[in-house]
Amino acid sequence: MLLLCNKYTIRTFSLHFTTRKVNTLFAHTSILFYMIYLIEFCLINTFKMSSIAAIRKDYKLATLSELEIDKNPIKQFGKWWDEAINCAIDEVNAMTLATATLQGKPSARIVLLKGYDDNGFSFFTNYESHKGIELGANPQASLVFFWKELERQVRIEGITEKLTAKENDTYFLSRPEGSRIGAWASPQSQVIKQREEIEESVKKYTQQFSGNPIDRPAFWGGYRVKPQIIEFWQGRPSRLHDRIQYSLQENGQWKIERLAP
């Protein structure tokens, strides 16, 4: 009886062990096939993504006609600006600012538009930064807005001028406290050994201004780009885009022309 029980136990255990082995083998095989699938999927998509030349989009949202634009480019910008705002574009005021040295060596970066009117387009920065130094030597600059959700660009060329102390102070005082401290703490564009230098500088000025007004540092302020050329670009199918350019004439009037795409 004991032998029969032992035989039954052995057989049951053997069957259980074999079942577990088969299940484990099946699980491992399934995982292997899934990993192979993932690898193939990644390789295919990597190949597709690596083909940069194949990346393209056909623009079809809108058109831009001389019959519908405003004769004043600032007012036309205002129309497009309102439409961009209504589309809830993330950081709609982000724009590329291109500057150059006297020798013509260019550089570019993203800054934020902080105002516009008939006099031009304004932004703020550290006057001792890389762009500040270049603008001090060569005031010519260019701005570009790209609102991909609307398939639009606005390109602006002009001469920069510094904003007044009153304009600078008004905007500076509207900034969050952390941003005002940051303006004092960061020697913008200068080489630093490690991030801790900035963090220590922030602590220093936070303690220094604790309970006191945070005035604007003299090395920080705004620029205004006074436009001489403004181009409005509307994406169209097959790269046959609409491009309307406004050029400021000596008599103060704007000349409107269509450019080939």
Q: What is the DSSP string of 28-66?
A: HHHHHHHHHHHHHHHHHHHHHHH-GGG------S----T
Determine which one of 109, 239, 243, 258 is catalytic: 239
Catalytic annotation present for 258: no
Total H helices, total E strands in the chain: 6, 9
- Of 225, 249, 222, 223, the C-alpha closest to 140 is 225
60-87 b/e with 16+ CB inside 10 Å = b?
eeeebeeeebeeebbebbeebbeebeee
Residue 24 — left, alpha, or beta (φ > 0 → left; ψ -120 to 50 → alpha)? Answer: alpha
Structure tokens at 81: 């600006």
Contact present, 120 and 223 (Cβ < 8 Å): no
Give CA separation, 45 vs 32, 50, 58, 121, 254, in Å: 20, 8, 21, 42, 49
The DSSP code sequence of 89-130 is -TTTTEEEEEEE-TT--EEEEEEE--EEETTEEEEEEETTSH
Backbone angles phi, psi at 68, to 5 degrees: -110, -10
Q: Which residues are catalytic?
A: 239
